[in-house]
Structure 1
Amino acid sequence: MAECELGCLTRQCLSGRRLGELRLLEEEIAAWSGDLNARQRGVDWQMTAEDARCKPNSVYPESIV
């Protein structure tokens, strides 16, 4: 999940820009994360925790020896 967040930060906030000062980078990230949190976006999980706990046979192919 952290990798997704860093990817979004790079694409949406920094977008290839080079910031000369650490203070400016911190301000940009704070503004971006404040806006993101205000919109209360979530993650659309594809499975439930219970589904993740089981070991579905369709995910693991049979090995033929």
Structure 2
Amino acid sequence: GCDGSVLLDGSASGPGEKEAPPNLTLRPEAFKIIENLRGLLEKSCGRVVSCSDITALTARDAVFL
């Protein structure tokens, strides 16, 4: 789907969306970029910005460039 669940890691109860067959084509570098951005924003804003927000802003800026 078109949501942020692909950013969730797996847990003891099962694999995450990253490991689902349709998502295996996603580049690990993209996940690293989003995680780095999340860390920077969390330092500045606390935990009020979600990974879905970061993904939306990143996609917007990438299209603009």
**Which structure has greater helix proportion?**
2
For the pair shown, the structure with the greater C-alpha radius of gyration is: 1
TM range (shorter): 0.3 to 0.5
**Normalising by structure 1, what TM-score?**
0.37
TM-score calculated relative to the size of structure 2: 0.37
